[in-house]
Amino acid sequence: MAQDMTTQSQRRLTVNINDGPRPFSAPKIAAVIREMGWRSALLGSLLFASEFLRSWWWDRLHNVTTRHPIPLSKLDLVGPSSSHAVFYQATGTKFLPSLLRRLDIQYSHFSFVDIGAGKGKMMLLAAEFPFRRIVGVELSRSLSDLAQRNCKSFRSKKKACGNFEVLCRDAAEFTFPNGPLVIYMFNPFDDVVLAQMLSKLASAIRQQACQIFLIYNNPLHRNVVCSSGPFERVLQGTDKWDYRKLRYEVYRSRIEENPQSQKQQ
């Protein structure tokens, strides 16, 4: 009932893709057409097909393997956070570079961190920008090994940063690097792990007064970020290249409220 009362735009706001890649079937396609209408379903199919080709071509061009989704049942996840994880699926190829351009920051002052880095595609796309360092944090050993291999084999004329580090770590226990950060998350886990990770991030913000941007793609648990305190939302929108029309939000740390930053000024 509550579901029925949500508006179309609310339904589009976020997409719950926690369970694993969804196989196509005729009844599912018919249901999508019924719900969305022919025009939207056709546009969605075209966007899906173009991202399918784009990611295939991107992998070939850059000598890496990132495109196939992997369901949770096939991921070697261990530890307390494993039951809170979302399966592997790469973000679309166009999303991150266009968003990073909009941040209007001096990239060389910032480290880029992908939380739930998977096979490392977002790390490689971030390498088009002259970041100080690019870090990927991934819970699955096999995915983090593959991300490491991808970072080594990656070839690109646009490469502006080659300082990669892939860590096989639980984000809930990750200690964030010092200095200004751009953190990326493609809905990697549920609200439980997100709250744990944000509390570590909040203490990093309190200790060192530097700017942190948090890009949250498909922000299913945005309420956890909004209630965590040190962030203000600076951007939001829809990934126009994604066939699901995924939402994103960008937050910035409120460093002016940090007592240590005031001491240093």
Ligand X SMILES: C[S@@+](CC[C@H](N)C(=O)[O-])C[C@H]1O[C@@H](n2cnc3c(N)ncnc32)[C@H](O)[C@@H]1O
Contacts with ligand X, residue ranges (CB under 6 A)? 75, 81, 85-86, 88-91, 114, 116-118, 121-122, 137-140, 143, 170-172, 186-189, 193
For residue 58, give every residue at least 6 positions away whose Cβ sits within 8 Å of its Cβ, in sequence order, or none: 66, 67, 93
Q: Compute the least distance from the CB of residue 158 to ligand X, in Å.
A: 18
Q: Compute the least distance from the CB of residue 178 to ligand X, in Å.
A: 20
CA-nearest of 255, 245, 84 to 173 is 84
For residue 263, give every residue at least 6 positions away whose Cβ sits within 8 Å of its Cβ, in sequence order, or none: none
Q: Which of residues 117 and 212 has its CB atom nearest to ligand X in the complex?
A: 117
- The residues with which 189 forms a beta bridge, in sequence order, are 85
Q: Compute the least distance from the CB of residue 209 to ligand X, in Å.
A: 26
For residue 137, give every residue at least 6 positions away whose Cβ sits within 8 Å of its Cβ, in sequence order, or none: 113, 114, 115, 116, 117, 167, 169, 171, 174
Residue of minimal Cβ distance to ligand X = 116
Rg (the chain; Cα; Å) = 19
Q: Enter the DSSP assignment of 168.
A: E
Q: Which of residues 116 and 180 has its CB atom nearest to ligand X in the complex?
A: 116
Q: Which of residues 139 and 224 has its CB atom nearest to ligand X in the complex?
A: 139
* Phi (first) and psi of residue 19, to 5 degrees: -85, -25
Would you say 143 and 118 are in contact if contact means Cβ atoms under 8 Å apart? yes
Q: Which of residues 139 and 205 has its CB atom nearest to ligand X in the complex?
A: 139
Q: Compute the least distance from the CB of residue 119 to ligand X, in Å.
A: 7
Q: Compute the least distance from the CB of residue 173 to ligand X, in Å.
A: 8
Q: Which of residues 47 and 75 has its CB atom nearest to ligand X in the complex?
A: 75
State the Cα–Cα distance between residues 160 and 112, nearest whole angstrom. 13
Q: Which of residues 7 and 73 has its CB atom nearest to ligand X in the complex?
A: 73
Q: Compute the least distance from the CB of residue 190 to ligand X, in Å.
A: 9
